[in-house]
């Protein structure tokens, strides 16, 4: 017999050794035990596993965050319009800078956050 066969045989024997009255293992209990034993991935990195409840909470918070970002964007556009109402070229330049800064910073951040939430498992 190969080593892998012996390993599976001893594991199955361990499952059969139980006290009288002790319930048989269920799929859920076996999966839970397996996940508790598995704390790192194949590269040796620690795994971070979120449950489905965590993903739901994160998605809900993300939706609320997106709404707040919309309010912030609306305020930024109002400020930009105030700059554009003044005919001086310096203010028009400031209006483009404000929009560029918003796009480079906040929009980039929001894209990263959305990507992170999508990668949650």
- The answer to whether residue 40 scores a pLDDT higher than 60 is no
- Cβ neighbours around 95 below 10 Å, total: 19
- Cβ neighbours around 48 below 10 Å, total: 8
Q: What is the DSSP letter of 40?
A: B
Task: For residue 38, tell me if it sits in a domain.
Answer: no
> Per the structure, how many domains does the chain have?
1
Query: What is the rounded average pLDDT for all residues in the chain?
Result: 81
In this prediction, residues 22-28 reach a mean pLDDT of 77
Task: For residue 73, tell me if it sits in a domain.
Answer: yes
Task: For residue 11, tell me if it sits in a domain.
Answer: no
The predicted pLDDT at position 43 comes to 55
- The answer to whether residue 49 scores a pLDDT higher than 80 is no
- The answer to whether residue 26 scores a pLDDT higher than 90 is no
- The answer to whether residue 107 scores a pLDDT higher than 60 is yes
Computed from CA positions of residues 28, 30, 32, 38, in that sequence, does the dihedral angle turn out positive or negative? negative
Task: For residue 110, tell me if it sits in a domain.
Answer: yes
Task: For residue 115, tell me if it sits in a domain.
Answer: yes
Task: For residue 62, tell me if it sits in a domain.
Answer: yes
10 Å CB burial of residue 55 (0-12, 13-18, 19+) is middle
Task: For residue 13, tell me if it sits in a domain.
Answer: no
The two three-digit tokens of residue 61, written as one number: 């918070």
Range of the domain at 75: 52-119
The predicted pLDDT at position 8 comes to 62
pLDDT digit string, tens, across residues 59-91: 999 999 999 999 999 999 999 999 999 889 999
Task: For residue 69, tell me if it sits in a domain.
Answer: yes
- The answer to whether residue 99 scores a pLDDT higher than 90 is yes
């Amino acid at each position: 017999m190969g080593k892998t066969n012996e390993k599976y045989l001893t594991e199955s024997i361990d499952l059969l050794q139980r006290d009288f009255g002790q319930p048989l293992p269920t799929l859920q209990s076996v999966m839970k035990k397996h996940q508790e034993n598995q704390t790192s991935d194949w590269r040796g990195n620690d795994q971070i596993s979120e449950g489905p409840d965590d993903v739901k909470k994160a998605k809900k918070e993300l939706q609320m965050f997106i709404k707040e970002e919309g309010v912030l964007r609306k305020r930024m556009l109002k400020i930009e319009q105030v700059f554009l109402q003044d005919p001086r070229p310096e203010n028009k330049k400031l209006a483009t800078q404000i929009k560029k800064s918003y796009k480079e910073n906040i929009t980039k951040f929001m894209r990263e956050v959305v990507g992170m939430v999508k990668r949650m498992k």
